Amino acid sequence: MNKSLEPLKYKGLLKEIKERIRSAQYQALRAVNKELISLYWDIGKMIIKRQQGETWGKSVIEELANDLQIEFPGIRGFSASNLWRMREFYRSYNKNKKLAPLVREIAWTHNIVIMELCKDNLEREFYIRMTRKMGWTKNVLLHQIENKTYEKTITNQTNFDATVSDAIRSQAKLAVKDEYLFDFLDLGEEHSERQLEQAVLAKIEGFLKELGGIFTFVGSQYRLEIGDKEYFIDLLLYHRHLKCLVAIELKVGEFLPEYIGKMQFYLAALDDLVRLKDENPYCLFPAGTTEKRVAVCQAD
């Protein structure tokens, strides 16, 4: 065998295996995404059926959201606003035999965008099919809708093959990869940070003592609902002496400047939505770090 051919053969084998791995990843994402969309579909269906002939209103949905979040802490998707979306999702598509199976081919965030911004079924079908085909991210999808791509296409003013890059088109998994998906599996994208959080929670008493013994534990994956979006703070504590909330973000690795901006957002939200009148407003400071780099910011 000609030894000069060996590197080429190896590269061919490596390429083939990598393509197979990516294909398996995509198929796995598609399968889980279909199950998640089916779950949301069923929840929407159950809510609508229960509301028929009943006087259930907004308060019941909020109560349901609270109970689900207690039962499944840290899994986003069960906010009151998202439950209303599930209801609207089922109501919008349950009688449409063409679109009902198609909505399971794209991620929940993509479905929300299309459902809320496209009221015509033909337009919805167009963006669902193109998202699946081109692997659009949520931001790309929003840009296409804002750019009136559907209208331009039906009047032959746009050519997708010419305007969509190979880089986007080849990443079909982006059409189903979604933050809701990873939380649904309890496999957040920052999986190692979730492990760190679980380790801290397993020894929360000792952890609080190490912080000086003047903190009380409020919650983990503390949910904030701002507008129609959900956000989760890794750990929320209360400083008894300073009478203030303390938000903790767990990060594995070196501290990055952008963490400060994220914490400022969380603290402002805590100040507006959670802080009591006799508690102190927030300010921001970096705390000491451990071997695992725990970034702490305080509302005091």
Per-residue pLDDT of 90-115, as tens digits, reads 999 999 999 999 999 999 999 999 99
276 three-class SS: coil
One-letter amino acid identity for 281? P
Check: CB of residue 23 under 8 Å from CB of residue 42: no
pTM attached to this predicted model: 0.58
* Positions of CATH 3.30.200 in the chain: 191-298
Q: Work out the pLDDT band at 291, boundaries 50, 70, 90.
A: very low
Whole-number average pLDDT of the chain: 78
pLDDT at 290: 34
CATH class entry, domain 191-298: alpha beta
pLDDT at 103: 96
250 three-class SS: strand
Q: How far is CA 179 from CA 41, 134, 289, in A?
A: 18, 19, 28
Residue 297: its H or E element: strand 294-298
User: b/e map of 189-202 (b: 16 or more CB within 10 Å)?
Assistant: eeeebbebbeebee
Average pLDDT on 164-171 reads 53
| Structure token digits, residue 44 | 């929407």
Average pLDDT on 53-79 reads 80
What's the rounded Cα separation, in Å, for the pair 230 and 65?
A: 12
